[in-house]
Amino acid sequence: MTAAGTAETTGPMTAGPMTAGQLEAALRQLGAARYHHHHPFHKRLHSGALDQGQVQAWALNRYYYQSRIPIKDAVVLSRSDDPAFRREWRHRLEDHDGLHEGDGGIARWLVLAEGVGLDRDYVASCRGVLPAIRFAVDAYIQFVRERSLLEAVASSLTELFSPTIISERVAGMIANYPFVTRETLAYFNARLTQAPRDSTFALRYVVTHADTPERQQAALGALAFKCDLLWAQLDALYHAYVEPRQVAPGGFLPGDPDAGGRAWANAS
């Protein structure tokens, strides 16, 4: 698959379009095979094989992705001239931004970051984000801005698979990390209902509008692109903090006299 998300590896082209059921099955098969719950970093995270500093690195870097999701969704919203589509899609902005200060998924992620021992302001500043993660997340926003609306919607279908990873994560982290509580992981409670609601709408949109072989391959390619993007973020974490563990977030070493380095050292 290319960086632009074309479907080189998403399945053979057919003489005619797949049925809606066949397309849904193909999307689910692709996601099940390539979703990032298979990644070694997540397996370590969920099994308790990481230390607290490595869990902090995950929370810190993942915040950049969380904080950009409503920006991505605002771009998708702006691409549609259908009021019904916009009414449905704007739930996503409310879910992450909240309806008032201190509400929503972004605020709950900062609670998670504090819960694992990080400084809230340092996390929110994004100063410690690894360059590779920043690049990957920004590429996602560029993708939904430049590709078709169908592809933008299809790229969100990783949400079909998120309840599985959420269940694994919450159970595993509470069982294995004494510094993690259910309150720390409260972000994931809302996602157990939000993600199925959003993915049901997105899946219905994709199987309805992907009505030619070319559009179906584009939808599959978009989902493959998103899976690769999520995987790439974990690659960055794994190679920075696990194998080998050489740098703290943003390239700061613990104890670095720089302000960012001090924030990391204090949090660790």
The domain locations on the chain are: 20-267
Q: In Å, how far from its chain's centre is CA 6?
A: 20
Separation in Å, CA 227 to CA 27, 30, 125, 174, 204: 11, 9, 26, 26, 20
Give the three-class secondary structure for 104: coil
Q: What's the rounded mean pLDDT across residues 3-21?
A: 62
CATH superfamily of 20-267: Heme oxygenase-like (1.20.910.10)
Tell me the C-alpha to C-alpha distance, in Å, between residue 1 and each of 37, 148, 223, 227. Answer: 20, 17, 11, 11
**pLDDT value for 163:** 84
pLDDT at 197 over 60: yes
Q: Which of 58-67, 132-141, 157-166 has the lowest mean pLDDT?
A: 157-166
* Average pLDDT score over residue span 50-66: 96
At 89, list the tokens. Answer: 């899609």
pLDDT band at 2 (very low <50, low <70, confident <90, very high): very low
Q: Contact, 155 vs 140, CB < 8 A? A: yes
* pLDDT mean across residues, the chain: 86
Residue 95 phi/psi, 5-degree rounding, is -60, -40
